[in-house]
Amino acid sequence: MAKIVNSAEFNNEIKDGVVVVDFFATWCGPCKMLAPIFEELSTEMEGKVKFIKVDVDQCPDISMQYSVASIPTIIVFKDGKNVNTTVGFVPKERIKEIVEAYI
């Protein structure tokens, strides 16, 4: 299951390996559509990739740091570096394809 992280935890969570971050808000319709897909991928890819979530309303500093202007935004980090950014709702197969390119 994808963990919701706060500003204090974020940098530690993304520093090692491949980490997929879902920038979301509780009021966002497309974010709600993406949530079950994100959870499925978190379960399917457990042990290979870490999946975490950032609530943009709770962590505006992180959102600004990574120029998240629209949600949902998915950012793939590899060893702490942003290697891919996808904005808007994306089907499960496409997200998996993007993530697998960095494993």
List the structure tokens of 5: 């992280």
CA separation (Å) from 15 to 40, 62, 77, 92, 93? 23, 14, 8, 25, 25
Question: Among residues 59, 57, 53, which one has the least CA distance to residue 38?
Answer: 53
Catalytic residues: 28, 31
